[in-house]
Every structure is written in structure tokens, then in C-alpha cells.
Structure 1
Amino acid sequence: MNIWKISIKNLKSKSFYTFLSIIILALSITLLLGIQQLKSSFKYQMENNLGDIDLVVGAKGSPLQLILASVLHLDNPTGNIKYNEAKKLSKNPLIKSAVPISYGDNYKGYRIVGTTNEFFSFYNAELEKGRLVEKSMEVVIGSNIANQQNLKIGDTFVSSHGLVENTIDVHDDELTVVGILKPTQKVIDRLIITNLQSVWDVHNHEDHDESEHNAHEEDHNENEDTHMHDDHDEDEHEQHDEETHKLEEHHAHEHHDDDKEITSLLIRFRSPAAFLTFPRKVNESSNLQAAIPRYELDRLYQYTSVGFKTITWIAYLILIISGITIFINLYKMIKERAFDLALLRTYGASNFQIIKMVAYEALIVAFTAFALGFILVKTGLYFMLKFTNFGYKQNIIRELEFQDILQIGVLVFIMVTLSVALAIYPILKMNISTILSNEK
């Protein structure tokens, strides 16, 4: 007697109830797996991507937005700040190191970050190939970008303005790949790192060309006016124009330095005592904003944990309903097929074999639902990220660990076992002679 075949036939004979049990259980498993994956991914992003960043200083606005933009690179910046002002701030004796970052461009959705070489130390990032940036228009790329875009040392590409991939506002300046980082499983894997000068050169290129064009026209007009004067005054005017032009260039250069901007400043303190005074001092005595990454992300986690807990309890409720549904279906099957089960007993089947048949039906439903739930989680998260413009570029969703999957699998197994244990009660109390004699 093949118990597996009998169990499968029993499920097929009640296909609607079988389908209903699988769908309800799969929905519960999908929610449990999905919430667990989102929680673990969020926790990983907070703990692993903060690195050694103690404080972020940027433009006034939402402190959480400043952290998401400058640390996790998941949001738009609150604005820009003056580079000279940031340099003055970094000279504070409480600060161990201050790393400026500046961005506003992307390459196929990957952010291009202008910074210094000290930026790599935040994430313990090391070169796998090539070298670090030494001059303008050179970049070091993360491992994700190298793999996804098939970029190699010496390859060149052009960036587009903004943080979203577009083919409309594309810069003319080419960036050259000079280094590729080792995988770190951190945010730096999906960043393109260059120096600050590269970012400034790209954004100031058009303004610089326009200034040169205007200066050329002014020189041309001045030369025409000079030729209209007599020969005696010509040398004097030319010398005066040359001195004036040099002076204007000097002032323009100083003005250009004053106009340099960055997105934010990433700070490491010398001691924890700086947390007590420095952020408040920056927020109260300047037009800058200081935000503590761990504090802001902990607040975010507190807000989102309410939603996580709510959906988790809903998933547990659906799991209980699913267990009740499986119990009712099994119990109903046993009661309706009491005569068939009694016949099996008369042909030599033991109670244990009949109980195994019922248990196999429940396990087939549970295994099918678990597989379906796992598939729904994968496809659901994929489309969610795709439609929310994150996709593989951001890589914020981590794979579920085997321990998490096993934990939910054990929970489902316990629920199914309990349902089977309650459903087999009529089998244990079965009176074969009474059942057979009452069957007409």
C-alpha cells in the first residue's frame, strides 16, 4: 500500500479545499519571510554602512534626509554648503578627521561621489585592481558597478546630471576608471569615487566657457577702441588693459574658490565627549546642520518597527487561520471517509499508517505553500524595488539567512503538526464494526 499515492489522490479529490489551504498558508509565509527580510536588511544597512562616521554636517533641512543622502546614499541631499565654511569647521580640536563629499551626477543610476582618499577608510575599502584617484576626471568604482556594467581599468564614460539615470542632461567630460575596489558588502560597492575637483570641473565647465567667451569679446572691443586712439596713447592703454585684465582674473579666481560647494562633511570625533557639545553648537551658531547617523537611524527604526510588528502580527494571525483551515479540512476528510478508513483497517492497515496518510496530506500542503511563499517573496521584492526606482543599483535588500528561513519553517511545521494531532482524534477513537455496520 503506497501511502503517498493515497494522500495525493485524497488531496486531488478535494482540490478546492486543498487550493484554499495552500493559498492561505502561502500568504502567511510570504508575509513572515518578507518582513523578516526587510527587517534584517534595514538593520544591516544601519549597522554595516555607518562605518566610523560619527557626525554629518550639511545644509539645513531634515536631519534624517541628510543621513540617508550622505551615508546610505538613498535620498536627495538637503542642499549644498560652502567648502570654505566646512574647512573652517573641520579645524575644531574635537574633530579627528573630516571628509567632504560632493555629488549631483550619476552614471546609469550609480552615484558619482567627489571626496578625498580618506573616504575609503570609513568602510575599510581596499583596491582590487588599479590605483587611487590622483587627478581630475579619474574615478575608482565599487565592485557592484564593475560587475554590473562590465567596466575595467582604463575604460571611460560620461556622467549625466542628477541622481537618476537619464540621457538628456549628459556632460561632455569623460571620466576614466583607474581603480576597482574589493567587495565589501557595503554602500561603497555601488558608488563611483572621484576627487572634489572632478565634480567642480564638470559643473563649472559651462560657466567657465561662458566667462572666457565674454572675456574674449570684451578684449576684442577694447582692442578696437584702442586702435581709435593716437599712437602716443596706445602703449599706455595696452599696459593698463593688461594690468586690469590680470587683476580681474585674480579676483575671479578668489571668487571662484569662495563659490566652491560640497554636499556634506563626514566627521569622526577624537572622543565620545564631543557628541555632547559639538552637534548642538553647529546647529545653534551656524547656518549648517549637524546630524548624528546612529541617532537618526535608530529613530527611523523605531518608527518603522511599529509597521513591522503590525504586519508580523497580521502574518501570525493568518498563520493561525491557515492552521485552523488545514485542521478543518483534515478532520472533514476523516469524518467523510470513515468507511474507507475502516476498510483499510480490515485489510491490515494500522492506525499509524492511517495517521501517516493524514500527516502526508498536511505536509504536502505545507511544503507546497512554503515553496509558493518563498517564490512570492522573491518576485514581490524584485518588482517593489524595480517600481520604486531602487533596483539592483541600490542593493539595499539582503538575502535571507538560512537561519531565518529555518525558523519560519519550524514554526509552520509546528502549526501543521498541531493541526494533524487534533484532526486524527476520530481515527484513534474509530470503532470499525460500528462504522461498517452503519454503512448502507
Structure 2
Amino acid sequence: MVLFKLAIKSLKNRAFATSLTVLSIALSVALLISVERAKRAAEEGFTQTISKTDLIVGARSGSLQLLLYSVFNMGTATNNVSWESYQDLKKNPVIDWTIPYSLGDAHRGFRVVGTTEDFFRHYHYRGDRSVELEAGHELQGLWDVVIGAEVARKLRYNLGDKIVISHGVTKGEGVVQHDDKPFEVAGVMKATGTPLDRAVYISLEGMEALHIDWQNGGMPSQDKVIPAAQIKKEDLKVHAITAFFVGAKSRLDTLKLQRQINDYKEEPLMAIIPGVALSELWGGLSYAENVLRIVSWMVVLVGFMAMLIALTTTLNERRREMAILRALGARSNQIMGLLVFESALLTILGIALGTCLSVGLIAVLQPWIESEFGLYLAGAALTKTEFFYILVTFVGGTLIGLIPALRAQKLALKDGLSVRL
């Protein structure tokens, strides 16, 4: 208790330096915990971009390539899947549902996806979350379009607005516009924090209607353009899709179904298990995770250095204090223990403040972070990993106090009591 009272009075006597030291450690700990929480959120959000989907089927290529263009709307497919093959595989008795996906066009840098109403019924992410609309309705008419939350926010679209789709995958306005066949915004999706927010959804028939008068990938001449008013949904026939998602009636049938699709005789297809491919892809990005962790520990190290500097610079001012304590009977190891205890106390205060700061800010900013950056900050605020980091920080901060403590132990008693002129 005496040691504790002396440490408290000493820290109070140097309130300004103490506050700055505690703040330095607190900011370091807050950054360390926040980065770890963000990393965990990024991993969970990434691996939960699609859930409750047993297989993703597309043209034979690489598993990561298929995952990227079907789930993340990145890259292009090597080939399409014929509509006949899709319908044939869909009849497999072990398949419960499918979601066809057709890619190829874009709108002002956002990917256009052709699909059916099954997308809104069966697509899940982050466990059991399903696609929901913020406003409007699903794809009903031929020229209806449903837009992701980020598309609506960045382009400031509202229900009823007309949009023109560009031919091919483009990052800007596009070279060739399907301006003779505009779509109307029929629905706006709720934010999901996944690539769904950055896509534009039309019906498969709408995708076919866009290119009904194109021949061999080329624009039609002016006299061969078919006006949008003359195109009827029931007259259109889907010829091919890019990929499709599969939900099996039983998870036990997934591997057997995957093998059957991979051995499909009619055309070369490939089926992947999305969870396995997502984990493989995240593993390839582990270097970024390690960089974040290294940066965080470097910041903590800077906080320790700030505490060491603060304790060392005040040591000369406290030499008389130490000498008086020695004169009153305090042993050198007690003086050393006092300084180490002060260091531990500063570290504890910094850890407590930093933890509260990190948890509090994340709780307040969570809705904004999820909508702006797509980081889903669910789950426990502190896990075993964060507690381990806190323990390491406490041990490190306490050991830092040994440096000025050893130096104080070497100070001579008469040097501290002598009056310097």
C-alpha cells in the first residue's frame, strides 16, 4: 500500500507528463485492437460474401477465376454455359435450387448482372442474411432494373430513373451505349457490405433484349435496330449464361454432385465449393494481414518509447526524491520496485483507456463503417487474440520500467543529497 500511495502521489505530481504518457499508450492500444478487429471483420465479411450456396458452376477454368467473376464481379469468364446444359443439370434430383448469372455489360463502372427472381429468394450472405429491397420491387417487367445500395448512393438514383447500359465491361461511361433500350429503376437493394452493393441487376430476358439485334458481337446498322417497344419478354429465348449457383437438398450430396458436374459430357464445366475457394483466396491475401499487424505493433513500440522517454527525462528531476527515500531507509530494490510499479500503472491506465476508446468508437461508428467501407463489425468486441495482445502490451510496458529503474539504482546517495551551485 505504501508503494502504491507513493506511486500515485508521484504520478499526480507529474500530472501533465503522466497524462501524455497514458494517452500515448492508449492510442497505441486502441489502434492495435481496432486493426485486429478490422482484420477480423474483413476476413469474416470476405469469407461470408456468399453463404448457404453449395456449389458455383461455370465454364472450366480456375477455381479462383470462377469465384472472382461470379461472386465478386471481377474479371471475365473464359466461356459461357449453354442454357440447355443449365436446364439439364437443374433437373438433377439432388439439386434444391439454382440461381443463374449472366455477365457481360456494365453501367458507369458498375457490373450488370442478368438473373431471375431466384436470386432474391435464395442468395444468402453472412450466414442466413438474404437479399432485401430498401424500396421498390423485384424484377418484373422486361426493362426493370434493381440496383445495389452503393450504386444508388454514388449515382444518386431513385425509383423511376432511366439508366443506359454500356456494352462490355467498362470502368467509365463505356464506348458503346445501349441508349435505344433504356432500363427503369424498379428497386433499390438494402446495403449488404458485399459486392452485391456494387452491381446492377436485370432479368435474363433483359440481357437478351439488349443484344437481340446484334450480330456476332457487332452493332446493328441503323435500319436493323429493333425498337424497345417492339420487344416482348415472352418472345425472348435465353441462349447462354455465365455461371449459376447451386443449393443441394442435402450437404452430403455436395461432393457427389460436384464430381458429376465436373465430368459432364455435354460441355466442359467446373463446379467449386465457394467456402473452400474463399478460404483459399483469403489465404493468398495473408501478407496484407501481416503488414497491418506489423504496423500496429510498431505503433505500440512507439508508445513504449514515449513512456521510456518520459520516465527517463523525469528521473534527473527525481534524483533528490530518490535520495530522500534512501535516507529514510528505503532500500535500492524498493526504489527500483517503485519505478517499475509506476511503469506498470501507466501501462494499465493506457490499456484501459485505449480499450474503452477502441470499443466505444467502434460501437458508435459501426453503422457508418458498415455502409461506407463494407466492414461487418459483428461478434465479440474482444477475442482471445485481443486479450493476448493486451497481455503482451502490459508485460512490455512493465519491463520498459526496468530501464530507468536500473539507472536510478546506480545513483549515489550523496549525489542526490548534495546541493549543486
Q: TM-score, normalised by structure 1?
A: 0.66
2:159 corresponds to which residue?
153
How do residues 419-434 of structure 1 correspond to structure 2 at under 5 angstroms?
419-420=400-401, 423-424=404-405, 433-434=414-415
User: Between the two proteins, what is the percent identity of the paired residues?
Assistant: 22
Distance change >3 Å, CA 287–CA 338, structure 1 → 2? same
One-letter identity of the residue aligned with 2:85: E
- Give the match's secondary structure for 1:159: coil
2:47 corresponds to which residue?
46
1:219-268 deviation per Cα after TM superposition (whole angstroms, max 9, x unaligned)? xxxxxxxxxxxxxxxxxxxxxxxxxxxxxxxxxxx9x958x221101111
- Give the match's secondary structure for 2:135: strand
Kept in 2, the 8 Å contact 1:106–1:163? The answer is: yes
Q: How far apart are the structure 2 equivalents of 1:27 and 1:203?
A: 56
Q: How far apart are the structure 1 equivalents of 2:72 and 2:219?
A: 35
One-letter identity of the residue aligned with 2:309: N
2:178 corresponds to which residue?
171
Q: CA deviation at 1:341?
A: 4.6
- Give the match's secondary structure for 1:193: strand
One-letter identity of the residue aligned with 2:278: L
- Say if 2:412 is the partner of 1:437: no
Q: 2:278 aligns with which of 291, 297, 304?
A: 297
One-letter identity of the residue aligned with 2:178: H
- Give the match's secondary structure for 1:210: coil
Kept in 2, the 8 Å contact 1:339–1:439? The answer is: no
How do residues 288-367 of structure 1 correspond to structure 2 at under 5 angstroms?
288-305=269-286, 307=287, 310-311=290-291, 314=294, 318=298, 322=302, 325-326=305-306, 329-330=309-310, 332-333=312-313, 335-339=315-319, 341-342=321-322
Q: How far apart are the structure 2 equivalents of 1:78 and 1:333?
A: 66
Q: How far apart are the structure 2 equivalents of 1:83 and 1:344?
A: 91
1:116 corresponds to which residue?
116
Q: How far apart are the structure 2 equivalents of 1:130 and 1:210?
A: 34
Q: CA deviation at 1:343?
A: 8.7
Q: CA deviation at 1:321?
A: 5.3
Kept in 1, the 8 Å contact 2:99–2:244? The answer is: yes
- Give the match's secondary structure for 2:208: helix
Q: CA deviation at 1:54?
A: 0.9
Q: CA deviation at 1:57?
A: 1.0
How do residues 5-16 of structure 1 correspond to structure 2 at under 5 angstroms?
6=14, 8=16
Say what the alpha-carbon RMSD is for the aligned residues: 4.9
Q: How far apart are the structure 2 equivalents of 1:186 and 1:304?
A: 17
When the two structures are aligned, how many residues end up with a matched partner?
Answer: 372
**Structure 2 stretches of 5 or more lacking a match?**
1-8, 125-129, 227-234, 363-369
Q: CA deviation at 1:191?
A: 2.7
Q: How far apart are the structure 2 equivalents of 1:183 and 1:32?
A: 26
- Give the match's secondary structure for 1:273: helix
Kept in 1, the 8 Å contact 2:17–2:310? The answer is: no
One-letter identity of the residue aligned with 1:171: H
- Say if 2:139 is the partner of 1:129: no
- Say if 2:73 is the partner of 1:65: no
Q: How far apart are the structure 2 equivalents of 1:53 and 1:291?
A: 10
2:243 corresponds to which residue?
264
Kept in 2, the 8 Å contact 1:65–1:78? The answer is: no
1:279 corresponds to which residue?
258
2:146 corresponds to which residue?
140
- Give the match's secondary structure for 1:114: strand
2:84 corresponds to which residue?
84
Distance change >3 Å, CA 201–CA 394, structure 1 → 2? farther
Q: TM-score, normalised by structure 2?
A: 0.68
Name the larger-Rg structure.
1
Distance change >3 Å, CA 10–CA 95, structure 1 → 2? closer
Q: How far apart are the structure 2 equivalents of 1:296 and 1:331?
A: 51
One-letter identity of the residue aligned with 1:43: E
Q: How far apart are the structure 2 equivalents of 1:105 and 1:410?
A: 52
Q: CA deviation at 1:101?
A: 0.7
Distance change >3 Å, CA 276–CA 6, structure 1 → 2? closer
Kept in 2, the 8 Å contact 1:282–1:290? The answer is: yes
One-letter identity of the residue aligned with 2:95: I
Q: How far apart are the structure 2 equivalents of 1:209 and 1:317?
A: 57
1:240 corresponds to which residue?
none
**Structure 1 stretches of 5 or more lacking a match?**
13-17, 217-253, 379-391
2:220 corresponds to which residue?
210
1:41-61 deviation per Cα after TM superposition (whole angstroms, max 9, x unaligned)? 1222212x2222111111121
One-letter identity of the residue aligned with 2:99: V
Kept in 1, the 8 Å contact 2:344–2:398? The answer is: no
How do residues 98-109 of structure 1 correspond to structure 2 at under 5 angstroms?
98-109=98-109
2:38 corresponds to which residue?
37
Of the structure 1 ranges 282-291 and 94-103, higher mean CA displacement relative to structure 2 is found in 282-291
How do residues 216-231 of structure 1 correspond to structure 2 at under 5 angstroms?
none
- Give the match's secondary structure for 1:38: helix
1:200 corresponds to which residue?
208
Of the structure 1 ranges 61-70 and 79-88, higher mean CA displacement relative to structure 2 is found in 79-88
1:244 corresponds to which residue?
none
